[in-house]
Amino acid sequence: MRTVIFDLFHTLVVGADSERDRVVGEMAVMVGVEPAELVAAYHATWRDRMLGWDVAETVRILAGRLGGAPTEEQVARAAAHRRELAVWVLDRVAPETLAVLDALRADGHPLGLISNATAEAAEAWPSTALARRFDVAVFSCEVGLAKPDPAIYRAAAERLGVAPSDCVFVGDGADGELAGAAAVGMTVIRTTEHNDTAPDWDGRALATLDELPALLRGA
């Protein structure tokens, strides 16, 4: 059975972008900086955050850049608020999505995850219902690599004990992830269930993930 590797946000769970901005605005009040400025700073430092800054470090660095001087207690409070958001986002996985993963596992497919994600998502992952269904999860913040870098796809395949060409990659297409997966030889399937991120991708697409088990049985 071919290994199936999934993206996380906008593929298995919604990205909750508006909620993220709201929470960062609340964090700004906690550390004494302007909410809109901290939200903008979070967006501007996405790559730094997904490649290694931890949660408290992010708060401390960005508040300082905006002229704030938060205490360690304020930093810890804001960081905890961000961690709570990560748990909330991952816990909102739909029962239908879990059923798809269970069906794939019942059919014998090993499952992997590759996510461009910040530290709080990686920290929340092990306690989620999603994590129990995956054999391997590779987070950019933990390996210092991000999609579409070929190395992150190869790292996931290596951990799963297979060649990239033995893998099917399923994602919405953010960050050039579909082209990155194809470049290392993975079969690519785009999903539009949560977000139509890469409408120009010329390849197979699923309207809902529940189409995937039958598609792979017929492959």
User: 219 falls in which pLDDT band (50, 70, 90)?
Assistant: low
**Domain formed by 3-14+93-217, architecture:** 3-Layer(aba) Sandwich (3.40)
Give the residue from 190, 56, 44, 33 showing the smallest Cα distance to 119: 56
Cβ atoms of 16 and 90 closer than 8 Å: no
Q: What is the pLDDT of residues 9-40, one digit of tens each?
A: 999 999 888 999 999 999 999 999 999 999 99
- Amino acid at residue number 136: V
For the stretch 45-87, pLDDT in tens is: 999 999 989 999 999 999 999 999 999 999 999 999 999 999 9
The helix/strand/coil state of 47 is helix
Nearest C-alpha neighbor of 66 from the set 87, 49, 45? 45
Domain ranges of the chain: 3-14+93-217, 17-90
Task: Give the bridge partners for 3, in sequence order.
Answer: 167
Predicted TM-score (pTM) of this structure: 0.95
User: Could you tell me where the beta strands, DSSP code E, fall in 17-144?
Assistant: 111-115, 136-139
Whole-angstrom Cα distance, residue 88 to residue 71? 26
Only one residue has tokens 């700004």, namely 28
pLDDT digits (tens, 9 = 90+) for 133-156: 999 999 999 999 999 999 999 999
Q: Is the dihedral of CA 8, 13, 15, 19 positive or negative?
A: negative
